[in-house]
A and B are shown apart, each in its own frame.
Chain A
Amino acid sequence: MQNQLTDAGLREDLMSNEDLRIESEELINALIATLNEKNLSDIESADFDHVIEILSGISISRAKQGFSPRETGLFIISLKEALIQVMNEEITDSNELIGLSLKLNRLMDNFSIITFETFIKGREEVILRQTDEITEISTPVIRVWDGILALPIIGTLDSARTQVVMESLLTEIVESGSGVAILDISGVPTVDSLVAQHLLKTVSATRLMGAECVISGIRPEIAQTIVHLGIDLSNIVTKATLASALLYAFKTLRLEVKKAGPVVKNI
């Protein structure tokens, strides 16, 4: 305890001394309970499972509280130093002292590595979760009109994303009974033959479901690239803007948009 309090790594703002003491006690008790002659040299020993559990718990809770991995690592190291100090005072035979110290050293170092690994694993899980969320958000399917869907595709279209787009689009077609889907690609930075293939697949799948696809938002540069790459989009209706795509969709569904007559004022 003394060691930790004097240690530069102490973060009083994040954790009260009382909590720190409780955590330390729990760890030390677990360690003392399991440590013996035999497993001193064996980090893999199953005896340490409980200790490792506590360590992982400490690491995760500290990460959540905002401690840096270094600070959490120092927690373990300070324990190690305290232990060694104690050994120093109690063991007089220098050979025995060195032997035991080395073993203890190695053991405690391993423990501190475990805290790092747990920390990293926690971060990876956060990243994965965020990736999933982003994938979900980035492909909204909008019911623009009764029977017309619009998909603004933003960002690059790779095969994984295409599958997500296709799934959401097709599911929405079934649920809304739509007959036309407008794929707006003004938010897609580049269209190469691979992306074109993905678009074509999406169009084919939509047709299989009995609906029609219109691609809108083709920027001039994209138009050029498509021609230069020899990509054949003759099978698909393409429009420059979402507005013209919408007009086409209305026509396909035999809907007319008329300007209403003049407003008649009540006299």
Chain B
Amino acid sequence: MTVMREQDVVPFRNRVKEYAVKIKMGLVNQTKLITAASELVRNMLRYGNGGQVLIEVISRGRDNGIRLTFKDEGPGIADLSLALKDGYSTGKSLGLGLPGTKRLVNEFDIKSELGKGTKVTIIKWANG
């Protein structure tokens, strides 16, 4: 899904919710996933000038899960390890974005290159 502007956020969140409900994810996990997605997508809008999100349903053995891949071609993140530490902030925002988001999901991966862009992948299993 392409998320380029503010208005795209809500339909995006709804789409994620659709998929989560489809694989019978519990309410708390749903909330965590959509909140994490919301954080990441806002980051993408604010710092990356918008980008693309890929929504996939994946399975591992008996479990089903959702994988979201956020790709933008923005300026990239200068110091990843710093950004992943609690309390770091660049914009006028609370610097809680990444580490907090990481806690909400089961798997979190981020790759960023200065000047090229950022790619974030998160996975949340239905059970947990």
Binding site for B on A (CB under 8 A): 160, 163, 166-167
Q: Are A160 and B28 in contact (CB under 8 A)?
A: no
Q: How large is the interface on B (under 10, 10 to 19, 20 to 34, 35 or more residues)?
A: under 10
Q: Are A167 and B128 in contact (CB under 8 A)?
A: no
Smallest Cβ-Cβ distance to B29: which chain A residue: A163
Smallest Cβ-Cβ distance to B128: which chain A residue: A160
**Shortest 6 CB-CB contacts between residues of A and residues of B:** A167-B28, A163-B28, A160-B128, A166-B28, A167-B27, A163-B128
Smallest Cβ-Cβ distance to A164: which chain B residue: B28
Within 8 A of A (CB), among B12-53: 27-28
For the complex, give the distance between the alpha carbons of A166 and B32 in Å: 14
Contacts of B28 in A (CB 8 A): 163, 166-167
For the complex, give the distance between the alpha carbons of A160 and B28 in Å: 12
Contacts of B128 in A (CB 8 A): 160, 163
**What are 6 sample pairs from A and B whose C-beta atoms fall under 8 A apart?**
A160-B128, A163-B28, A163-B128, A166-B28, A167-B27, A167-B28
For the complex, give the distance between the alpha carbons of A11 and B103 in Å: 55
Smallest Cβ-Cβ distance to B26: which chain A residue: A167
Contacts of A163 in B (CB 8 A): 28, 128
A169: shortest Cβ distance to chain B, in Å? 12
For the complex, give the distance between the alpha carbons of A167 and B27 in Å: 10
A266: shortest Cβ distance to chain B, in Å? 58
B40: shortest Cβ distance to chain A, in Å? 22
B36: shortest Cβ distance to chain A, in Å? 15
